Amino acid sequence: MTDLTSLTIAELRDGFRAGSFSARDIATSFNAAVAAAKALNAYTVETPDDALAAADTADSARQRDELMPLSGIPLGIKDLFATAGTDTTAGSNILKGFKPPYESTVTGNLRRGGAGMLGKLNMDEFAMGSSNETSAYGPVISPWKRSDGGNAALTPGGSSGGSAAAVAAGIAPGVTGTDTGGSIRQPAAFTGISGIKPTYGRCSRWGIVSFASSLDQAGPMARTVRDCAIMLEAMAGFDPKDSTSLDLPVPNWEAGLSSNLKGKRVGIPKEYRIDGVPEEINALWDRGIEWLRDAGAEPVEISLPHTKYALPTYYIIAPAEASSNLARYDGVRYGIREAGEGGLEGMYAATRAAGFGAEVKRRIMIGTYVLSAGFYDAYFNKAQRVRALIKRDFREAFEHCDLILTPTAPSAAFGIGEKMSDPLAMYLNDVFAVPASLAGLPAMSVPGGLDAQGLPLGLHLIGNELDEQGVLNAGLAIEERAGFSARPEKWW
Amino acid sequence: MSVDTATVRHIARLARLEMSDAEVEATVPELNNILGWVEQLAEVNTDGVEPLTAVIDQKLRLRDDVINDGNVRDAVLLNAPDAQHGFFAVPKVIE
């Protein structure tokens, strides 16, 4: 029989429906692959029984002809999503042992759509990081290796690094990710898979551990653009429990897929030609422009004049929101507790000192500083004004184009430990991803090719508000033309 | 603007983060490095620009002021490091 772990979600779904294999066969294959891939450190918790139970439900639903869109599909879930009765730690020691009595809206939607859960996926602590090295569970190791004969352990990117590694290694056909400043797109690019962050508000944030509430958005990561469309349809939707959730119907993105881009104008922002970005990245970008032209689109040069200020803006706003959101971890209601000295306040301070890792503390400190008396206007309010200008740049650009194409990240995956000593160098990884996050726009990374060392590189599509369909369609056009079929050689 | 050890201690106190002297010392240059970098925003002219408040324009909804769950005390206390008699237990605040 075919190795089921090599199939896409669409192939698994269609094969299961046609009776070529059972849902139990699918779950069993993936459970075994997960159990054999511990060297990747991608899963923090494995839930094979959950996957099998959902598979048995799917198998009996098939007999009764009552199938749901994701019946028979087991998924990996980023550890940022609350899963009822299963450890949810956001990759942090402070939430060690936390078992939510409730289910996040997004994972609840996936379950109602028929999906099972293979386990919880490792991630940067509280989604703060671009390499997975800040996780309390230790870094995820990318399934990819450089072709130089060396055996360096590479990062899968972050913060959805476990999610990206799982799809690339074939230990989940699809996974959830979250994206605050590129946390779906950068790891997707590093591991040669696809991932989309929808418009802010498309997916409910209820039950997702908060990092920066005005930026956080859930999205799918999978092997293909079609698989992303299938998953996003099941994840998205209005939720009265999230006041920022958009009260709009969910489009039929899979049915709407078309790689014919005739009449579309693709904006190429001149400010994204950044000094110091390797020539291979710019060469891939040029190939991407030609692929979209081949699909019928017309490339046009656009200007996003405040691009340069997006990263510093992000590194004020995200820590500010994080410092407020993370105030809830105080040792009273959940997670660990350290007694400390000095009564209740001492307990708070000792608990937080013991529970948070270095990067999280760094961001809490920055966030507290920029919100503190005397600095609020100079930093936080100033950043929100620049953010308004960044948003306006995009609004004006979309008067001249339908989509925007850029590279996803300024490099291919780097080695574990290579950038840990310099926070600013690490932050620069998200230079292409952050502006779309600040503007709340849908954006996607699709694999475009390999660099000279045999590592994947991604192309990045940004759409106008609510135009996930346009993003997916352009992604499909690139996918068809790039013919990216490289897979990491199995070493784990 | 640049921070010194006294500022770092003050911020750590506001953030309820216990820090050793060594950690305070190490944090000073880190914060200064990052704050120095974000200060480039000062060169952007934002006169007359309203700070962004909603990334996607929409009205905040109001919901009916009704209880739609409740009686979930055990679930609420389920993960507490210390729960006693149906309450969260914390160190004594009032002598």
DSSP string, A151-218: ---B---SSSHHHHHHHHTTS-SEEEEEESSSTTHHHHHHHT-EEEE-STTSS--TTBPPS-TTT-EE
What are the chain B neighbours of A213 within 8 Å (beta carbons)?
A: none
Confidence at residue A448, expressed as pLDDT on a 0 to 100 scale:
98
Q: Which of B1, B2, B4, B11 is the best residue to mutate to test the A interface, defined by the most A CB atoms within 10 Å of its own CB?
A: B11
Query: In the β-sheet with A443-450, what is the strand arrangement from edge to edge?
Result: A43-46, A116-121, A74-78, A174-179, A217-222, A194-197, A443-450, A456-463, A403-407, A265-269, A298-302
Confidence at residue A1, expressed as pLDDT on a 0 to 100 scale:
63
CB within 8 A of A279, min separation 6: which ones? none
Nearest to A167 by CA among A152, A177, A153, A159: A177
Distance from CA of B18 to the nearest CA of A (A): 5
CB within 8 A of A392, min separation 6: which ones? none
Confidence at residue B62, expressed as pLDDT on a 0 to 100 scale:
86
Q: Is B40 on the interface with A (CB under 8 A)?
A: yes
Q: At what angle do helices A468-482 and A279-294 cross, to 10 degrees?
A: 100
Question: Which tokens hold the place of A91?
Answer: 């990759």
Q: A300: which strand partners?
A: A267
CA distances from A2 to A21, A115, A248 (A): 10, 21, 40
Pairs across A and B, CB distance < 8 A: 160
DSSP letters of A301-332? EE--TTGGGHHHHHHHHHHHHHHHHGGG-SSS
Prediction ipTM score: 0.96
What are the chain B neighbours of A369 within 8 Å (beta carbons)?
A: 3, 7, 11, 31, 35
Confidence at residue A125, expressed as pLDDT on a 0 to 100 scale:
98
What are the chain A neighbours of B42 within 8 Å (beta carbons)?
A: 382
Cα(A183)–Cα(A443) distance, rounded to whole angstroms? 12
First-to-last alpha carbon distance for chain B, in angstroms, is 42
Q: What is the pLDDT of residues B65-87, one digit of tens each?
A: 998 888 999 999 999 999 999 99
Distance from CA of A439 to the nearest CA of B (A): 6
| Buried b or exposed e, range A435-459, using 16+ CB within 10 angstroms | bbbbbbbbbbbbbbbbbeeebbbbb
What are the chain A neighbours of B9 within 8 Å (beta carbons)?
A: none
What is the CA A428 to chain-centroid distance, rounded?
Answer: 17
CA distances from A180 to A162, A399, A402, A491 (A): 16, 26, 23, 32
**Residue A104 annotated among the catalytic residues of the structure:** no
Element (H, E) at A147: none
pLDDT grade for B93, boundaries at 50, 70 and 90: confident
Q: What is the pLDDT of residues A306-354, one digit of tens each?
A: 999 999 999 999 999 999 999 999 999 999 999 988 899 999 999 999 9
User: Which residue in A78, A145, A197, A264 is the catalytic one?
Assistant: A78
**Residue A183 annotated among the catalytic residues of the structure:** yes
Confidence at residue A180, expressed as pLDDT on a 0 to 100 scale:
98
Nearest to B80 by CA among A125, A337, A325, A102: A337
Which member of B38, B75, B90 has the closest CB to residue A101? B75
First-to-last alpha carbon distance for chain A, in angstroms, is 23
Residue B62, classified by CB atoms within 10 Å of its CB into exposed (0-12), middle (13-18) or buried (19+), is: exposed
**Residue A96 annotated among the catalytic residues of the structure:** no
- The four Cα atoms A265, A266, A271, A274 give a dihedral, to 10 degrees, of -160
Confidence at residue B41, expressed as pLDDT on a 0 to 100 scale:
97
Q: Is B49 on the interface with A (CB under 8 A)?
A: yes
Residue with tokens 């490289």: A486
Element (H, E) at B69: none
Cα(B66)–Cα(B57) distance, rounded to whole angstroms? 27
User: Which residue in A92, A104, A130, A159 is the catalytic one?
Assistant: A159
Question: Which tokens hold the place of A138?
Answer: 């230790």
Q: Is B85 on the interface with A (CB under 8 A)?
A: no
Distance from CA of B13 to the nearest CA of A (A): 8
Are the C-beta atoms of residues A350 and B18 closer than 8 Å to each other?
Answer: yes
Confidence at residue B1, expressed as pLDDT on a 0 to 100 scale:
62
DSSP letters of A41-84? --EEEE-HHHHHHHHHHHHHHHHTT---TTTT-EEEEETTB-BT
- The four Cα atoms A342, A344, A349, A354 give a dihedral, to 10 degrees, of 100
How many Cβ atoms are within 10 Å of A24's Cβ, its own excluded? 15
Are the C-beta atoms of residues A175 and A278 closer than 8 Å to each other?
Answer: no
Which member of A346, A365, A388 has the closest CB to residue B49? A388
Amino acid sitting at position A89: T
Element (H, E) at A246: none
- Regions of chain A where pLDDT drops below 50: none
Q: Do A353 and B79 touch (CB under 8 A)?
A: no
